[in-house]
Amino acid sequence: MKASRSWTRLAGAAVLLLAIVVGLEYGRSRPALGPPELVAGRHDEHRERPGGRDPKVDADEDTVPAATQGLEFEAPSVVLMDAATGKVLAEKNPHERRPIASVTKVMTLVLAFEAMEQGRIDWDDKVVVSPYAAEYATGTHIFLHEGEVISVRNLLYAVAVGSANDASVALAEHVAGSEERFVQLMNAKAKALGMNNTNYVDSHGLSLDGYSTAYDQALLAREAARYPELLKLTSIFYMEDTPEPREVRGRRVQVELLNRNRLLLGYSGLDGLKTGFTSQANFCVVATARRGDTRMVAVVLGHPSSSGRNREAAKLLNHGFANWVSLPVVKRGDVVGSVRVHRGARETVPAVAAEDMAVLVERGRQEEVERRVVLEERLVAPVARGQRLGEIVVGLAGEEPQRVALVAAEEVRALGYVGLVWRVMQHLFRGGP
């Protein structure tokens, strides 16, 4: 009995001594952490490299595949872009500044859907039409009346399907308070997306002072494709009336909505985005289509005819789908692995993808794609949510790979002294290290 009590005291003393040692060592080795993206690790050399979906990808002439050199276009400016990666697959004067007419409304729609995503407006909001918006009974319009109460839903359909100028102004005023303020938001969004050769001056495109480029509009199309409901609207060719009935001064108002994008009638997978025409801009289109996991964006600016515009947009899309395929790698938030956490309230932390990621490869080379997950072996608590833990590296052998960051899915607190003692005791009793 005495030997048993002595052994118990000895074991207890050993545990206490071990805990003290661990506590002292914890105090010496705990790193000073800065912002999560600055935490040191084994893969710092990769941290400045772009990974995942980056709307600011540069369009260098050298990056355009040699396979496009034989393509010829009558339009003065065109771009074919893979939507997932932003890679330019064909181009002609991609950065030439040109008027874009009603293609301007793509940005109007993007800002409206962004406002809904942020909870600032809603489909069912009621908008009182201002005198200023009602004055835009020029070009394509839905005959808005001053003082009329109309839903955001009706305005969105009118802009996306019918390209209504008065609806664009009313929507802009609802989102930002005035069209002038809305234009400021348009240009701020353009800058954020890397649209460096774009200047918006209105929400509809009637002004002669606005301009953009084929490349910039392709970047915007990638952003628009983030909103499935936006593409659902721009894929509609014809509606007999707005989705909700309109009534002005006791009288029913019915207006047909006709989409000028005739590619919707026959091009497989096409679901947007917008056409435009003025005598200065000529015929323009931003077209996007999806087949399987591959989405292509074709931009044609300044074509002398509407049929030629459509023909060259289809030519670009055909070229993209015939020669390349987009392979999904990971979705934002997908758990890819886990990393051990030393002296943390949790012993591991899940590593999730920071962004969506896809890789574009030439058809026939899909099986050659190599994928590698690189993670830190171990971290010392605390770990901040969003802290970089590693990366996924994907590509073809001998080519520059693509990378996407892997980050901590949640915060892991550092254990205090009592927690460390309890953790040591748990490991001792279950025979752990």
Positions marked active-site: 102, 105, 163
Residue 131 to residue 145: CA distance in whole angstroms: 8
Beta bridge partners of 291: 294
Could you tell me which residues are beta bridge partners of residue 372? 393
Contacts for 24 with CB less than 8 Å, ≥ 6 apart: none
Quote the CA–CA distance of 383 and 362 in Å, as a whole number.
Answer: 40
Return the ∠ at Cα 298 (arms to 167 and 159), rounded to 5°.
Answer: 5
* 406: Cβ contacts below 8 Å, ≥ 6 apart: 336, 337, 351, 352, 353, 354, 373, 375, 388, 389, 390, 391, 392
Cα→Cα distances 17→20, 39, 218, 254, Å = 5, 32, 65, 85
Three-state DSSP state, 185: helix
Cα gap 263→318, rounded to integer Å: 12
Residues 6+ apart with CB under 8 A from 251: none
Residue 373 burial (10 A CB sphere; 0-12, 13-18, 19+): middle
Compute the half-sphere exposure of residue 212: CA atoms within 13 Å on the CB side of its CA: 37
The helix/strand count (H/E) of the chain reads as: 10, 19
What stretches of 220-323 adopt beta strand conformation (E)? 238-239, 246-248, 251-253, 257-258, 270-278, 282-291, 294-303
Beta pairing, strands 77-82 & 294-303: antiparallel
Alpha carbons 38 and 32: distance in angstroms, whole number: 11
Tokens 């300044």 belong to residue: 302
